[in-house]
A and B are shown apart, each in its own frame.
Chain A
Amino acid sequence: MTAEPALLQQLEAYRAGDESAREQIVEQYMPLVRKIASRYAGRGEPLEDLVQVGSIGLVLAIERFDVDRGVKFTTYAVPTIVGEIQRHFRDRAWAVHVPRRMKELSLRLARTIESATADLGRAPTIAELAADTGLEDEEVVEALETYNAYSTRSLSQPLGLGDSEDGTVEDLFGAPEPGYDEVEHGALLETGLAALDEREREIVELRFFEGLTQSEIAARVGISQMHVSRLLRRSLATMRGRLEGAATEQGL
């Protein structure tokens, strides 16, 4: 039990018809709402919206609080405010099961990793991925670690994003370019390059001999980075096919 005499007076006044008394209570308890709402930051909702929703909970608590039940108003108000904020999330996409969300995040990240790698010419950091996707650092780590660790999906399984050229999960996770190992085998490389058409050869040369990023190549050749990415992938597969055949012949 506690002495909340000011509050009790205000409540009495409000219930006697004094609307301004309720305003005063709301104003007094808003810091509590803000503090609770701040606990829900990082779930992708603007803090201001959460404070708004929380304040609805506060108003409900004022309406429903029973002064005779012997609990403090704060004790009563917190669950009501929390409940209102929870409901806000429940009404959104938060009811899905965790692995599904992680899978979605993970696929989204895979695409971001691919394009960021192309833009930066190196693997992006967690912070860069978070900035690009609007996720928290922690969510990025979660999606990358947990989904891959717990997934029974094969890395070589197609992504199934609706485009047959999407490639596989493995392709997206910054796997070493399959071209590197073969680079040392100069003669073999010639053989591989010979399997490509002129534009594919140009792109492969820009990427691996001149070290340009996919975006730089896109600008140079005048096609989109996505297209460069696709052509590179296809070219490397073609070269690998040709090289494997040649390597077998030469007993390598």
Chain B
Amino acid sequence: MSSTVRLTIPAKAEYLALTRLVLTGIAMEVPMSEIALADLKLAVTEVCGNAVQHAYMDDPGVVRIVFDVEREAIEVSVEDEGAGPGFPEIDESVLIDGPSESGMGLAIVRAVMDDVVIDEESRPGTVVRMRKQLVGQAF
């Protein structure tokens, strides 16, 4: 049993909240803990936020989010078609107090999700696929 929810948002920060609301909606149907939901929201916000910030230069496009809901896991893929940089790995610039968070987002996503794959093969555009196990996890 699995169901799919698709959401396409303009690549603008003010639409990020929608992705979180969708996750809450899913969490009303699929048994998961608050903390699992919070992790999913955090990860999806990071990935979509990266797409919104970096993917499109002057011409904001869209970000497509697909939630594949299984009984015991949820898989989320986030796709943009921007020519901008993909999802950077962490580097030492995060140690400077200030706005630079280079790569920290991805590191956090990796920490809260069970499986994260970044597909930059089909550039322009980046696809991030991530999976979280909802059952049988110590969190």
Contacts and interface: CB of A to CB of B under 8 A. Distances in A.
Main secondary structure of the interface of B (DSSP, over half): helix
Contacts of A40: 42
Interface of A: 2, 4, 28-29, 31-32, 34-36, 39-40, 43, 72, 74-75, 78-79, 82-83, 86, 89-90, 93-99, 101-102, 138, 141-142, 145-147, 149-150
Interface in B45-86: 46
Interface residues of B, number: 35
A241 B37 CA distance: 46
B117 interface: no
A223 B32 CA distance: 45
A4 B92 contact: yes
A97 B39 CA distance: 14
Contacts of A96: 33-34
Given A31-B97, A89-B38, A145-B21, A98 B112 contact: no
Contact of A94 (B33, B46, B98): B33
Mostly, the A contact residues are helix
20 contacts: A2-B92, A28-B95, A31-B94, A39-B46, A74-B91, A74-B94, A82-B111, A86-B139, A89-B38, A90-B35, A93-B34, A95-B35, A96-B33, A101-B34, A138-B20, A142-B21, A142-B24, A145-B21, A146-B25, A146-B28
Interface of B: 17, 20-21, 24-25, 27-29, 31-35, 37-39, 42, 46, 89-92, 94-98, 101, 104, 107-108, 110-112, 139
A96 B104 CA distance: 28
A39 B24 CA distance: 18
B107 A94 contact: no
A150 B95 contact: no
Contact of B139 (A75, A90, A98, A141): A90
A78 B33 contact: no
Contact of B107 (A31, A34, A74, A98): A74
Contacts of B97: 31, 34
Given A4-B92, A32-B95, A97 B31 contact: yes
Given A29-B95, A74-B91, A86-B139, A146 B24 contact: yes
A141 B21 contact: yes
Given A31-B94, A72-B90, A142-B21, A97 B107 contact: no
Contacts of A97: 31-34
Nearest to A96: B34
Given A72-B90, A94-B34, A149-B25, 5 more contacts: A74-B107, A86-B112, A94-B35, A142-B21, A149-B28
